[in-house]
Amino acid sequence: MVKQRDQDPDRNAAIFRYTREREALLSPRASRSDQALRRKSRKPEDIRTPYSRDADRILHTRAYTRYIDKTQVFYLVENDHITHRVIHVQLVSKIARTIGRCLRLNEDLIEAIALGHDIGHIPYGHFGEACLSDLCLEHGIGKFAHNVQSVRSLDRIEDQDLTMQVLDGILCHNGEAEDLRMSPESCPDWATFDRKVCANETGGRPGSPMTLEGCVVKFADTIAYIGRDLQDAQEVGLIKNPGEIPQECQEVFGSDNRAIIDTLIRDLLENSDADDKCFISYSREVEHALATLRAFSRHTIYNNPKLTAEREKIRTMYRVLFLTYLSDIESDRRSSKIFSDFINAPWVNREYLHTTPPAGLTRDFISGMTDRYFLKRFEDCVIPHRIEGAFR
């Protein structure tokens, strides 16, 4: 057995001193380690900064592992080269850290928010989210929103005790209409943060993040997908050639993902102020072109009949699974997958289980599924199983 080495106080002190000196070079508006707020832990941090520690905690969750088989936009498409969630969050992290470095913001905080921001996404993308939200409303547990689910997964289900700054950035990452110019909004305590979560559960918007780093991730989310979705659409044949992209957008951004990313990052850096006025913003020209490009993508990609043709079948799948697993809980059917793979799993927080109603447990089990696991569980519900052996 390897004996654990005792910590060297002098070495730790040197590491902490280096961290403080490095953070002293950040913008006056950047988030610093000594501002980090946790719900529970009051013990000193280890050699990592609080936000770096949060990024590691997110990486080791079960929810993060399941990114690997969650599609981004093109569900039910057999093509290994289209974007999945695991690639998207890495792109968001890279883009956001590039922006944050240029604005002298805290890259550790940016990385943690970026890695966790889409953990609450569910099978079959935003349409799956709409299906599950309808079922949640029917059963009296409020609307479903993937940003709230991301917070719920990390803060309650897996109980990672992340900092408020990270959870707040995750909660506030979505809402495309808002990411044209943004300033942080104060969130002084956990009671205020919990009210933001509750407001979003009842149909409201969480507002702006409490940190500039959170604002940067919100912008980077759009930068990561807006051109990549066009690239994927060409890969699967929804867009035949780049010339279909509106001329106005081509003049501002170019016609490929690389040019779009480069233009958006440069424009953001030129029009943001992370030192005095404390805001992140695009120019008017880019803002207008981005709105045009979003409208084009919505019509050509997201609402394309070729992509939406199977939606009613997916809606039926969600209803079957939700009612089946809700019945399994209410009937205490312990052989059900919702017990073996979720309720009785050692990684699920016991306090969460005791305070969540059956419909909430059903919501959280289904929302955590990968596309492949979701399909397998549906097959279990509707396809008869072969009976092994002979009747005696």
Reported as a single tens digit per residue, the pLDDT across 22-70 is 888 999 999 999 999 999 876 666 788 999 999 999 999 999 999 888 8
Question: Which pLDDT does position 101 carry in this prediction?
Answer: 97
Alpha-carbon distance of 168 to 113, in angstroms, equals 8
Predicted confidence band of residue 175 (pLDDT cuts 50, 70, 90): low
Last residue of a domain, one of 277, 308, 339: 308
Q: Which residue has the higher pLDDT, 82 or 262?
A: 262
Question: Which pLDDT does position 176 carry in this prediction?
Answer: 62
Question: Which pLDDT does position 84 carry in this prediction?
Answer: 83
How many domains in the chain? 2
Least confident of 112-126, 169-183, 345-359: 169-183
Question: Which pLDDT does position 374 carry in this prediction?
Answer: 94
Q: Please check the confidence at residue 2 and state whether its pLDDT lies above 60.
A: no
3-state secondary structure of 84: strand
| DSSP state letter for 318 | H
Written as six digits, the tokens of 110 are 């940016």
Please check whether residues 265 and 333 belong to one and the same domain: no
Q: Range of 215's domain?
A: 50-308
Question: Which pLDDT does position 222 carry in this prediction?
Answer: 94
In a domain, 41, yes or no: no
Q: Please check the confidence at residue 1 and state whether its pLDDT lies above 60.
A: no
Please check whether residues 245 and 315 belong to one and the same domain: no
Least confident of 52-61, 109-118, 175-184, 199-208: 175-184
Please check whether residues 240 and 361 belong to one and the same domain: no
In a domain, 388, yes or no: no
Q: What is the mean pLDDT of residues 70-82?
A: 78
In a domain, 350, yes or no: yes
Please check whether residues 54 and 128 belong to one and the same domain: yes
Question: Which pLDDT does position 125 carry in this prediction?
Answer: 86
Q: Please check the confidence at residue 383 and state whether its pLDDT lies above 70.
A: yes
Please check whether residues 148 and 208 belong to one and the same domain: yes
In a domain, 96, yes or no: yes
Q: Please check the confidence at residue 328 and state whether its pLDDT lies above 80.
A: yes
> Which tens digits make up the pLDDT trace of 215-226?
999 999 999 999
Alpha-carbon distance of 152 to 119, in angstroms, equals 10
End-to-end CA distance of the chain: 54
Least confident of 47-51, 327-331, 381-385: 381-385
Question: Which pLDDT does position 209 carry in this prediction?
Answer: 95
Alpha-carbon distance of 276 to 69, in angstroms, equals 42
In a domain, 42, yes or no: no
> Which tens digits make up the pLDDT trace of 161-174?
999 999 999 999 98
Question: Which pLDDT does position 179 carry in this prediction?
Answer: 64
Q: Which residues on adjacent β-strands are paired with residue 163?
A: 38
Q: Which position has the token pair 């079948």?
A: 313
Please check whether residues 115 and 201 belong to one and the same domain: yes
Q: What is the mean pLDDT of residues 256-262?
A: 95
Alpha-carbon distance of 279 to 182, in angstroms, equals 5
Please check whether residues 66 and 201 belong to one and the same domain: yes
3-state secondary structure of 237: coil
| DSSP state letter for 68 | G
Q: What is the mean pLDDT of residues 301-328?
A: 94
Please check whether residues 262 and 149 belong to one and the same domain: yes
Q: Which residue has the higher pLDDT, 183 or 178?
A: 183
Last residue of a domain, one of 275, 290, 308: 308
Please check whether residues 229 and 326 belong to one and the same domain: no
Please check whether residues 180 and 207 belong to one and the same domain: yes
Predicted confidence band of residue 322 (pLDDT cuts 50, 70, 90): very high
In a domain, 169, yes or no: yes
In a domain, 43, yes or no: no
Question: Which pLDDT does position 200 carry in this prediction?
Answer: 82
Last residue of a domain, one of 308, 340, 371: 308
Return all residues near 336 (Cβ < 8 A) that are at least 6 apart: 325, 328, 329
Q: Which residues on adjacent β-strands are paired with residue 273?
A: 279
Please check whether residues 160 and 183 belong to one and the same domain: yes
Averaged confidence pLDDT in the chain: 91
CATH number of the domain enclosing 303: 1.10.3210.10
Question: Which pLDDT does position 8 carry in this prediction?
Answer: 66
In a domain, 176, yes or no: yes
Please check whether residues 292 and 328 belong to one and the same domain: no
Q: Please check the confidence at residue 338 and state whether its pLDDT lies above 90.
A: yes
Q: What is the mean pLDDT of residues 81-104?
A: 93
Predicted confidence band of residue 177 (pLDDT cuts 50, 70, 90): low
**Total Cβ atoms within 10 A of residue 80:** 5
Question: Which pLDDT does position 79 carry in this prediction?
Answer: 76
